[in-house]
Structure 1
């Protein structure tokens, strides 16, 4: 009798686990779900392609000491790319385009676990494809000088770099939650533009420190394509 009860409890436990998984992943076979996941993939692909493209140094190899990439150019390109993609895909997927944003949405229970997992996978895959496309269409002499891989300034420690990344990523997520709060009645203007500007100021501040990642997928893409994981943490 005790053996039967033990087997029954085990079977019930497995059933409860299966039910929990089914509840967490319900709705993943709907057209709307995969439309949203595809939107995250495409938005991240375009964002990474354009953003990394602005970091390329086309003077590499032509002079003894090529000039550094323009800080304002890079910051504006990343910021405007995010603003544009958020405006285009916001009504489809929410326009996360960033695993950090998706994680914040999951923690605050604004999206399901299943959607968060598939969003992060789509974002990372989109970033790798975007970086790969840029690598394919760019001359080797230019990509050899870097493909926008985020690196820590040797003048600062890894701990300081981590603090910088936490601060700029926090201000981005904070801006998103503040501008997309349905309870606010004082909002005006474009939420997408505000989010894009938060990315811009984050880059203006942090590029000299860490290259301004703010986005795990954005850092993963070029690191995987170039196999440069020196400061990829």
Structure 2
């Protein structure tokens, strides 16, 4: 009777989900697998498409509201439309590539997932390289199609806007990226996926909405980076002093925000630190 009760209690206390094992720091076997290179190609193409659509939207909005053309200042898509372009493209591209590469499309997301041991160091580095190259090519396409407007309207490059201090810009990038990466962790949490079967299907939606909401808040401050590849690609093709002078903000801020989000989700919400401490005490008492 006692054994039956114990077995029943163990059954109810067993986890209904399984956390994947930590990714190895360096996995040489990845380099021999086609799926690894397919994922890198997917990240490259997704980031290219992301920059192509979003930077064209930014330039189009500026040209449609240009006072020098006596244009309607309330015309064009507006800041709301720009935010929708960024958030909508992330939603679409994460949906398309999640099953191939995980749908990172952002070095900060990749960095946060690497810190949480979701991807290996080799994969993280290759993803970041592919994302930056894709961003450069995407902005290059925009310049090729809109050459007359590209430099005149800033090339979609991120800069710290007038009236804001460096600390404000850095803080905006840190908090904005925290919101994004925290959303990525929450939307892809295996514990949540196991208990809400609809979550894996809807995961791209909250990620896209996070990008949308952050853009509404930070476009007036930094033009919204929260994605070092996006800022880097635009800076390379635009190649003016101001974007390069402020460029460090768009790497340091997102990487700090991603690191804080990874720590918060893994060690606070998922109690990684408590579990590690419990494992230590259990092994020390043997």
TM-score, length of structure 2 as denominator length: 0.70
Partner residue, 1:102: 110
Q: Does 2:247 align with 1:232?
A: yes
Q: Which runs of 5 or more residues in structure 1 are unaligned?
A: 1-21
Q: Does 2:193 align with 1:188?
A: no
Question: Which digits, 9 at most, give the CA deviation of each residue in 1:108-133, with x for residues without a partner?
Answer: 00001100010000000000000000
Aligned partners of 1:187, 1:62: CA distance in 2, in Å? 53
- Residue 156 of structure 1: how far off its partner (Å): 1.1
Contact 1:150-1:211 within 8 A present in 2 as well: yes
Aligned partners of 1:29, 1:202: CA distance in 2, in Å? 39
Contact 1:58-1:142 within 8 A present in 2 as well: no
Partner residue, 1:80: 88
Q: Does 2:133 align with 1:128?
A: no
Residue 37 of structure 1: which of 30, 36, 40 is its match? 40
Question: Which digits, 9 at most, give the CA deviation of each residue in 1:18-58, with x for residues without a partner?
Answer: xxxx9543321311100000000001000111111110122
Contact 1:106-1:116 within 8 A present in 2 as well: yes
Aligned partners of 1:23, 1:109: CA distance in 2, in Å? 11
> In structure 2, do the counterparts of structure 1 residues 205 and 187 end up closer, same or farther at CA, with 3 Å as the change threshold?
farther
- Residue 143 of structure 1: how far off its partner (Å): 3.7
Number of matched residues? 213
Partner residue, 2:233: 221
- Shifted more, 26-35 versus 73-82: the winner is 26-35
Residue 218 of structure 2: which of 206, 213, 223 is its match? 206
TM-score, length of structure 1 as denominator length: 0.85
Contact 1:179-1:187 within 8 A present in 2 as well: no
**What aligned pairs does 1:29-68 form with structure 2 within 5 A after superposition?**
29-56=32-59, 57-59=62-64, 60=66, 62-63=68-69, 67=73
- Residue 66 of structure 1: how far off its partner (Å): 7.5
Partner residue, 1:174: 182
> In structure 2, do the counterparts of structure 1 residues 183 and 135 end up closer, same or farther at CA, with 3 Å as the change threshold?
same
Aligned partners of 2:102, 2:131: CA distance in 1, in Å? 13
- Shifted more, 194-203 versus 67-76: the winner is 67-76
- Residue 145 of structure 1: how far off its partner (Å): 1.5
